[in-house]
Structure 1
Amino acid sequence: MTTVLIVTHSKDNQSIPLVLKAIAEQGGKAFRFDTDRFPTEIQLDVYYGKGIQRLILASAQGKLDLSDVSAVWYRRIGIGRRIPTTMNPQLRQASVQESRTTIQGMIASLQAFHLDQLPHIRRAENKQLQLQMARELGLDIPPTLITNNPQAVREFAKDCKEGLVTKMLSSFAIYEEGQQKVVFTNPVTAEDLDNLDGLSFCPMTFQENIPKALELRTTIVGQRAFTAAIDSQTNEQARHDWRRQGIALLDAWQPYVLPLDVEEKLLELMARFRLNYGAIDLILTPDGRYVFLEVNPVGEFFWLEQYPGLPISKAIADLLLGQLHK
């Protein structure tokens, strides 16, 4: 029986049970590795001897002989999160680092199909490289400036007739009074242009605002592309970033068919990054242009299966079980 190792953490979302179900329906077996439970609750034995190697992962699910794993789905990671915070900070950091190195080495050593290889994921997360490659492939991209130079921003703004938006290249959240606040894409006002001194402490990304007829999410799985569309302009708070009203707009997503030439360029982009999976954001402008924004190599998909009904989890299971391997 084909065995899939799912690398995730215990607080991951509905994506995991969706794919687990799809794997089971096709006769496969999956082992869920919640990395936040390592090393406090999950044990790993890696033994290399003369002519012998033994790799055993043991959790509440049971024991998994890692030599039986034929495919790895790299979803999320949270190694060492349950190591007590009461430990000496230096010792705790050393424990977390050693745990990470152990698990990353274990994953890299598995002679199996990887969705996707971690070095490929990390390289593809570079949004500057994404824009460069997309432009080379002939995809339309927003005029973009990444800088810590206030004067460069002001000069750039003069050339952007539709105005500016700003975003971050990295993903992070700010916590205030215990509440998580995500940094979304935001418009840049005239007042903002007069107050750019903060750039000396942190560079930012500025793009020309792109008018939106629809926002598109294309999920690539192997050689298959699943696209859904939403009219984010119907919600005032979602006009610059649909994620700001993601829950309110969940049931507004609809299936969408991309032009073949655009889909082919997206598939070529994935091939250049050596990725089998990616969630790609685009804008369809009122004059019919498809503008590439970014690709998330481990992006979410679960709501697209629930509302537009795109069979993404089945496609992932197909790929992991070998039916769609390149």
Structure 2
Amino acid sequence: MTVLIITFSQDNESIPLVMEAIEARGEKVFRFDTDRYPTEVKLDIYSGNSERVIITDGEQQLDLSEVSSVWYRRMRYGQKIPESMDKQYREASINECRATVRGMIASLKGFHFDKMSNVDRANNKQLQLQVAREVGLLTPRTLTSNNPEAVKQFASECQEQGIVTKMLSSFAIYDNQGRENVVFTNPVTNDDLEHLEGLRFCPMTFQENVPKALELRTTIVGQRVFTGAVDSQSLEGATYDWRKEGRALNKAWKPYDLPEDVEKKLLKLMAYFGLNYGAIDIIVTPDGKHVFLEVNPVGEFFWLEIFSPHFPISQAIAEIMLTIKE
């Protein structure tokens, strides 16, 4: 068996963790870094009388007919194409890289962990919330809008707990040194409500602020459910988004037993989207309610596994990619 992992060169520890787990089982794994294509990695796709796909990375070469399963993880198409290239040509080249790689993935036989079309569909946050409610999960009241008056009305309806704002996309701003500044979940103040003119350039998502006793990260691999809990309210900077103090909280995550009915509803949600993997964010309120926030079909898990023996997630991923056949 050979597993193909499609990612980018700066992806985190989750990739080597899974690769080691696959190799420990005596199987092969090949890593395709999309940011190094087409400048460093070669991809040859033959179709017609014979069909053949070859990836060449330095001295390593893979005939994709050998691939039994593929993990479609992180994409950074054509990132190393020189910035000095004419903007129009560079954008055209990146688009061609995207179309080539996605076409290659779509045509791959074998087991997909997960199918690209399922990942794309599951990334629609409004649909996630709709389906979560349909399977019986609690969700926050939510508004996505570019209309200041609608936002003000929504804020008045959530006056008791207030509202927070977040982005639907992976929104980040980069400084001159290329450092990433992620836009986290933030509270909306009365002053903010008087300065909503920017919504005419970019819609935003607003949610009622849900009180937190704990924050959960539930990672689902097939039918296996791993849940970690953290007291994000123990650090002032993590009040509205634990990721702001993610490093400081790394070792504070503890195993958590989800109520059986919540676990079953999460598995129904995963089945709706046809996902084998999902990283799910949940709030436990002071009165013990479990409020679903979102599922990320390619979400992170590495810090849970690195700092705790209770979350063998990479082992579960390796196992499912080496045992399930399509």
TM-score when scaled to structure 2?
0.96
Matches within 5 A, 1:262-281: 262-281=262-281
User: Secondary structure of the residue that 2:140 maps to in structure 1?
Assistant: coil
User: Could you report, residue by residue, the CA deviation over 1:202-251 in whole angstroms, capped at 9, with x for unpaired residues?
Assistant: 21111111010000000010111100000000000101000000001100
Matches within 5 A, 1:46-195: 46-50=45-49, 52-160=50-158, 161-178=160-177, 179-195=179-195
The whole-number CA distance in structure 2 between the counterparts of 1:35 and 1:153 is: 39
User: Secondary structure of the residue that 1:248 maps to in structure 2?
Assistant: helix
Cα deviation, residue 257, structure 1: 0.9
- Count of residue pairs the alignment pairs up: 323
The whole-number CA distance in structure 2 between the counterparts of 1:158 and 1:79 is: 43
Aligned-CA RMSD value: 1.3
The whole-number CA distance in structure 2 between the counterparts of 1:274 and 1:183 is: 29
Specify the code of the residue in structure 1 equivalent to 2:85: M
In the alignment, what sits opposite 2:227? 227
The whole-number CA distance in structure 2 between the counterparts of 1:71 and 1:6 is: 9
User: Could you report, residue by residue, the CA deviation over 1:50-107 in whole angstroms, capped at 9, with x for unpaired residues?
Assistant: 2x22211111251111001000011111121112222222222222221221111111
User: Secondary structure of the residue that 2:248 maps to in structure 1?
Assistant: coil
TM-score when scaled to structure 1?
0.96
The whole-number CA distance in structure 2 between the counterparts of 1:306 and 1:32 is: 21
List runs of 5+ in structure 2 lacking aligned partners: none
The whole-number CA distance in structure 2 between the counterparts of 1:314 and 1:273 is: 23
User: Secondary structure of the residue that 2:26 maps to in structure 1?
Assistant: coil
Specify the code of the residue in structure 1 equivalent to 2:246: G
* CA 1:11–1:254: 2 relative to 1, 3 Å: same
* CA 1:252–1:91: 2 relative to 1, 3 Å: same
Are positions 1:13 and 2:9 aligned together?
A: no
The whole-number CA distance in structure 2 between the counterparts of 1:136 and 1:102 is: 37
User: Secondary structure of the residue that 1:268 maps to in structure 2?
Assistant: helix
The whole-number CA distance in structure 1 between the counterparts of 2:176 and 2:56 is: 38
List runs of 5+ in structure 1 lacking aligned partners: none
In the alignment, what sits opposite 1:198? 198
User: Secondary structure of the residue that 1:45 maps to in structure 2?
Assistant: strand
In the alignment, what sits opposite 1:210? 210
Say whether the 8 Å CA contact 1:216–1:281 is kept in structure 2.
yes
User: Secondary structure of the residue that 1:278 maps to in structure 2?
Assistant: strand
User: Secondary structure of the residue that 2:195 maps to in structure 1?
Assistant: coil
The whole-number CA distance in structure 2 between the counterparts of 1:195 and 1:48 is: 56
In the alignment, what sits opposite 1:22? 21
The whole-number CA distance in structure 2 between the counterparts of 1:96 and 1:196 is: 34
Specify the code of the residue in structure 2 equivalent to 1:318: E
Say whether the 8 Å CA contact 1:319–1:325 is kept in structure 2.
no
The whole-number CA distance in structure 2 between the counterparts of 1:95 and 1:199 is: 32
In the alignment, what sits opposite 2:43? 44
Say whether the 8 Å CA contact 2:110–2:325 is kept in structure 1.
no
The whole-number CA distance in structure 1 between the counterparts of 2:143 and 2:78 is: 37
